[in-house]
Amino acid sequence: MSIQDFGNELLIHRPQNLTSEEPLFARDAPSQSKSHSLKPAVPDDSLGFPNIAILKDLNLADREIQIQALELLRTRRMPTHSTIYAAPKQFVIVILVSSHGPRLNEHLNDHLFISHYHDSEDGFSNLEEDSEWIEDDRASLNSVVRPFANRSKHWATLFTQMDVQLLAELSKKVTVTAEIKAYLQNIVTFLRLHRAVGGGISPRATQHFDILVRSLAPLHGLDFVTPSLVSLAARKIYGHRISICAPENERSMQYGSDLTAISVLLEDMTAADVVEEVLAAVEEPL
């Protein structure tokens, strides 16, 4: 799939009677396979982006396509050979990747706001067993960006535009005490100093951490931040950003540590383990 194909497949024909509270969805992600149902890239007032795009196996796509997705996140614009399409104000990209596959482009990964890990052993309670969403990992290379078959179906709005605007306004009024701010900074500091973390913690991650903490409060009916909300935010913000360093790069190796012992220590270490260790080590404010 080329960059042009990727852009064309994300575009949808928006019905004239579509309101801002009725989101459309695009499902699955680009891969290295070629799509056989590409839409022509022609300037058309009826073409536009969905409010939500779900990209499956984007980590398997070419680097150029991942960079194009990054530019879409940064600029909210997608150029085609004939025009430039702008994403709607409320635009969300959800990326589905396997935990055993290659990592996303580093910069794209850092721009993703939050992450959630779902273990297959927990089941898929909201999906039918024969759903096309439940596929063998070996078939994932055949996935492409493709829309729902029935565009005209009316989808009930679970979260309206007014809800989003209200939560955005409430998050600006959330109270964050000095003790909570110190707790936030201590978590970031401990993460940066953790022996298993390779590559550090980016400033963007810290910014997202603060934003999510403030956004979770009104979602839980609060106008102030609690330590439990901070812990929840830390798990969602840093789970996909932390990379475990190679044993030979672990900092204690500079002072004569045994490589075999360090290898055993880091063998089964995951990003989630790092976050949990830090949350256990940092003292919560009373």
pLDDT of residue 156: 67
Q: What are the DSSP calls for 84-110, one per residue?
A: EEEPPSS-EEEEE--TTSPPPPHHHHH
Q: Are residues 130 and 29 in the same domain?
A: yes
Of 187, 195, 242, 193, which is closest to residue 213 (Cα–Cα)?
A: 187
Say if residue 108 is in the same domain as residue 82.
Answer: yes
Instruction: Tell me the average pLDDT of the chain.
Output: 81
Boundary residue ending a domain (147, 179, 199)? 147
Q: How many CB atoms lie within 10 A of CB 18?
A: 16
Judgement on whether residues 102 and 188 belong to the same structural domain of the protein: no
Name, of 13-22, 148-157, 260-269, the range with top average pLDDT: 260-269
Who wins on pLDDT, 77 or 227? 227
The pair of structure tokens assigned to 145 is 């960006």
Residues 91 and 221 in one domain: no
- 41 and 122 fall within a common domain: yes
91 is a domain residue: yes
**Which of 33-42, 148-157, 181-190, 259-268 has the least mean pLDDT?**
33-42
Q: Is 220 inside any structural domain?
A: yes
Please count the other Cβ atoms lying within 10 Å of the Cβ belonging to residue 87.
20
Residue with tokens 């179906």, as numbered in its chain: 153
CATH code of the domain in which 272 resides: 1.10.8.80
Confidence of residue 14 (pLDDT cuts 50, 70, 90): low
Alpha carbons 159 and 90: distance in angstroms, whole number: 12
Is the predicted pLDDT of residue 282 greater than 90, yes or no?
yes
Q: 257 lies in which domain range?
A: 161-281
Domain-terminating residue out of 93, 112, 147: 147
Two tokens, residue 28: 């699955």
Judge if 118 and 194 occupy the same domain.
no
Residue with tokens 């530019």: 71
Query: Which residues are registered as beta bridge partners of 258?
Result: none
Both 143 and 165 in a single domain?
Answer: no
Shared domain check, 168 and 124: no
Of 147, 176, 204, which residue sits at a domain end? 147
Tell me what the mean pLDDT of segment 127-155 comes to.
50
> Is residue 114 domain-resident?
yes
Instruction: Express each pLDDT in 28-57 by its tens digit.
Output: 544 444 444 444 444 456 778 888 889 998
Residue 156 belongs to some domain of the structure: no
274 found inside a domain: yes
Amino acid 83 reads: T
Helix axis angle for 271-281 and 178-193, nearest 10°, is: 130
Are residue 173 and residue 59 in the same domain, yes or no? no
Residue 140's nearest CA partner among 106, 99, 110 is 99
> Is 246 part of any domain?
yes
Positive or negative torsion for Cα 30, 31, 32, 33 = negative
| CA gap 42, 11 in Å, rounded | 11
Place of tokens 């396979």: 33
CATH of residue 143's domain is 3.40.50
Structural domain count, the chain = 2
Q: Are 213 and 219 in contact (CB under 8 A)?
A: no
- Judge whether residue 145 has pLDDT over 60: no
Same domain, 40 and 112: yes
Same domain as 196, residue 129: no
Q: Is residue 153 part of a domain?
A: no
pLDDT of res. 36: 42
DSSP 89: S
In a shared domain, residues 180 and 120: no
| Strand spans (E) along the chain | 12-13, 25-27, 47-48, 52-56, 77-79, 84-86, 92-96, 146-147, 197-198, 243-244
What is the sign, positive or negative, of the torsion defined by CA atoms of 10, 82, 34, 240? negative
Token output for 149: 């078959």
Per-residue pLDDT at 4:
76
Residue 286 lies in a domain: no
